[in-house]
Amino acid sequence: MSFAGYFSHSAVADRELFEAITSELQRQQSQIELIASENFVSKEVLSALGSVMTNKYAEGYPGKRYYCGCECVDVAEKLAIERLCLLFDCKFANVQPHSGAQANLSALYALANHGDTILGMSLEMGGHLTHGASPTISGKWFNAIGYGIDKNGFLDYDGVQKLAKEYKPKVIICGASSYPQKIDFKRFREIADSVGAYLFADIAHYAGLIVAGLYPSPINHAHVVTSTTHKTLRGPRGGVIMTNDEVLAKKINSAVFPGVQGGPQMHTIAAKAVAFGEALRPEFKEYAKHVLENSVTMADRLKELGLNIISGGTDSHLSVVDLTELSITGKVAAEELDKVGITCNKNAIPFDEWPPSQTSGIRVGSAAMTTRGLRRNEFIKIADLIYKVLSNYEKSDYESVKEEVRKETLDLCKKFPLYS
């Protein structure tokens, strides 16, 4: 039976939705997925997500619920907590946040009060919306100060120290959404201690690499650590919060529920437990090793072809590609690549002259296609295809170039089937 067969009941009950689901399956199967924040979960994770756990209301925490009948979902949540603590060698964990954004909001709610000063990486420099960007709650509820990177694309730790000394933040946030290099969590803790601030590390992008020992862990440096579960950790969409401080653990639990959200999504928590179990296996470390190798390979090949890679390369699963030399915006580049079956996202480069709606770069990641089995040779090929499209944009034979590349992407995807 094809994977679409799992949704066959929808073909009768809700034809329109069934077609949307199967079309999305076909899109995923036929495109090269380079969005750094996406991955492909296992069928076991999908099965847990679609389980009867979704029927249960379970406000509260294991053993302390507001509803009866929670003895089975308690087992699932305890498993998720135990496995997450094993993965990151931490003492306390909350697996209930519905998303990374809610995990981050809960962490701030536990650590700071309305109006307090927070110091986080600026969105335009590679930070995340939830680290103090003006349109978000973190930017509206707190006095948010942003730090950045230097002209070479590396974190400006001296600049962070200077801002911390000047503004005396209650919380310093480290972590990023488009920073490819390793973060010095120890240095961040030293800065935080020097001004009496909490250090809050968001490892949403790097979690899977940290589990595999390929990227530094903040667990012994940060007071609180948050992550999503659906990027390099290869789990369902959701968030988690970790700490080694028992007092903070209690504050975090209260911040998540009832502070920020109500009943937990028990089907998602069950799926998190499945994914954490998968990440504890030796095969996951092998997978993460290939994620890093493939990312470095793609970045190096794009450099060989003449494109500028922000910070000169990558120590993680992602790279930010500066398109200035090609005179094409990130928006146009992402749209044109999508037309040939290569999915990525527009991304600002440091000190970008284009607005966020356009940008001067794109962000590319290796985690999803590594899950499908692609290795170094295939990622060299992908880099070549990216360059072939973008370097020929607006040339007379561009349409024929796109047709050629689309055929090549389809052929590559067929060699590495998804959910076959």
The answer to whether the CB of 86 falls within 8 A of the CB of 280 is: yes
Q: How far is CA 121 from CA 140, 237, 243, in A?
A: 16, 23, 21
Pairing type for strands 143-147 and 117-121 reads: parallel
The answer to whether the CB of 227 falls within 8 A of the CB of 207 is: yes
The gap between the terminal CA atoms of the chain, to the nearest Å, is 9
Rounded Cα gap, residues 216 and 232, in angstroms = 14
Within 148-275, strands assigned E span 171-174, 198-202, 224-228, 239-243
Rounded Cα gap, residues 410 and 10, in angstroms = 28
Rounded Cα gap, residues 53 and 403, in angstroms = 45
Pairing type for strands 342-343 and 32-33 reads: parallel
Q: 40: closest CA among 23, 24, 16, 17?
A: 24
- What 8-state DSSP symbol labels residue 176? -
Secondary structure of 20-47 in the HEC alphabet? HHHHHHHHHHHCEECCCCCCCCCHHHHH
Beta-bridge mates of residue 364: 319
What is residue 65's three-state secondary structure? strand
Amino acid present at 70: C
Rounded Cα gap, residues 41 and 351, in angstroms = 35
Which positions are catalytic?
57, 59, 202, 228, 231, 237
Structure tokens at 390: 């973008």
Phi then psi for residue 316, to 5 deg, are -145, -160
Per 3-state DSSP, the chain is made up of helix, strand and coil in percentages (nearest 5) of 50, 15, 35
The answer to whether the CB of 285 falls within 8 A of the CB of 370 is: no
- Say how many residues make up the chain: 420
